[in-house]
Amino acid sequence: MRTVRVNAASQSYDVLIGKDAVRELGQQAKKLCPGALKVLVVSESNVAPLYLDRVKAELEGAGFEVIDYVFEAGEQNKNINEIAGMWNKMAEAGFTRTDFVVGLGGGVTTDMAGFAASTFLRGIKVIQLPTSLLAMVDASVGGKTGIDIPMGKNQVGAFWQPSLVIEDISFLKTLPDEVFTEGMGEVTKHAFIMDLELLEKLEKANGDIRSDEDLLEETVYMNVADKAGVVGEDEHDNGRRQTLNFGHTVGHVIERDSGFTKPHGICVAKGMGIVMDACVRAGTLAAEDAERMKALLKLYKLPVSDDITPEAIVEGAMNDKKKRGDTLSVILVNKIGQAEIKKMTAEEFLKFLSV
């Protein structure tokens, strides 16, 4: 078992990473949620049949009354109706401010479980049990919670740090291959923006970090440590945390243009490739560094380009929430393992992408 401590300004907490880490849940919950009698386990239709019984047994074994809320899997259900369902379930069961929520699933689930916890009775505790690679290395760590509205993804939410995150590596065994690959988009991103050692490890693993559970655990650990470091410095996304958006400014536009049929991690990989090429043309990134990063993406079956035009990217990006005032914060990698936040106007961004 490995532990990463996240020292966010609002709250510090542990991320426990390991095979069968779920066995820690009951005792840890008792310690971290004193006075709690009830717990709402939020999960979804793919994950619940696999792991809900196990999680319930852990919590019941520690003496909690367990109520579950299982929604239909999928991003289209990351909405206010499901949150209202969770609020109602807790209210009906007579939850008080000392009771808590557990999120068991991918990023859709952990985002919603966190948001329901952040709002119920003005905020109760949440413990996250991410089950997808993306949720383990990214969504469940750092306290961003929320839902989608028709006008856009993640447009409503709250910063609400969990009290604990348990990452049971064994849960990844059932993750479909293509969903695992999507998660690799965020893993490679962490390597490119801040972790040369991770990049070297991924190169050495030669496209397969899945079949060796020890390697998988170590890789997840390195990613969580990377993200924890950033969140510790900048919980509310006003500075360095924005570097985690590498590939996202462009990726979000591609994702939205596809009507959200192209997966997030795939679009981020495309976005990273497009920005790397632009950095090489601008002379700020060495061509061999870009080739090395793109080779890594391809090794993990991720794309490095898209046929979207620079004009379409800029138009889409200016409508995106990442813009602040009239400028966009574009994340550049000028050297492997080092990211820069560069403010650009629409004209500058178009020039950057086109020249």
List residues near ligand NAD by CB under 6 A. Answer: 44, 46-47, 50, 73, 75, 78, 105-109, 111, 131-132, 134-135, 138-139, 142, 144, 153-154, 171, 174-175, 179, 182, 264
Closest approach, Cβ 96 to ligand NAD, in A, equals: 27
d(CA 184, CA 299): 11
Closest approach, Cβ 46 to ligand NAD, in A, equals: 3
Is the distance from CB of 185 to CB of 269 less than 8 angstroms?
yes
Contacts of 208 (CB under 8 A, 6+ apart): none
Q: Which is nearer to ligand NAD, 138 or 234 (CB)?
A: 138
Is the distance from CB of 300 to CB of 177 less than 8 angstroms?
no
Q: Which is nearer to ligand NAD, 36 or 175 (CB)?
A: 175
Q: Which is nearer to ligand NAD, 52 or 328 (CB)?
A: 52
Q: Which is nearer to ligand NAD, 38 or 189 (CB)?
A: 189
d(CA 116, CA 341): 32
Closest approach, Cβ 282 to ligand NAD, in A, equals: 28
Contacts of 44 (CB under 8 A, 6+ apart): 70, 71, 72, 73, 74, 77, 105, 106, 108, 109
Closest approach, Cβ 29 to ligand NAD, in A, equals: 21
Q: Which is nearer to ligand NAD, 245 or 278 (CB)?
A: 245
Closest approach, Cβ 272 to ligand NAD, in A, equals: 15
Q: Which is nearer to ligand NAD, 182 or 195 (CB)?
A: 182
What would the two tokens of residue 74 be?
């999928």
Q: Which is nearer to ligand NAD, 127 or 344 (CB)?
A: 127
Query: Residue 152: enclosing H or E segment and its boundaries?
Result: strand 152-159
Question: Cα-flanking dihedrals φ and ψ of residue 10, to 5°?
Answer: -80, -25
d(CA 98, CA 120): 11
Q: Which is nearer to ligand NAD, 281 or 322 (CB)?
A: 322
Q: Cα angle vertex 192, ends 189, 198, to 5°?
A: 90
Contacts of 89 (CB under 8 A, 6+ apart): 40, 67, 69
- CA 281 vs. chain centroid, Å, equals 30
Closest approach, Cβ 339 to ligand NAD, in A, equals: 17
- What DSSP line would sit under 326-355, residue for residue? TEEEEEEEEETTEEEEEEEEHHHHHHHHH-
Closest approach, Cβ 171 to ligand NAD, in A, equals: 5
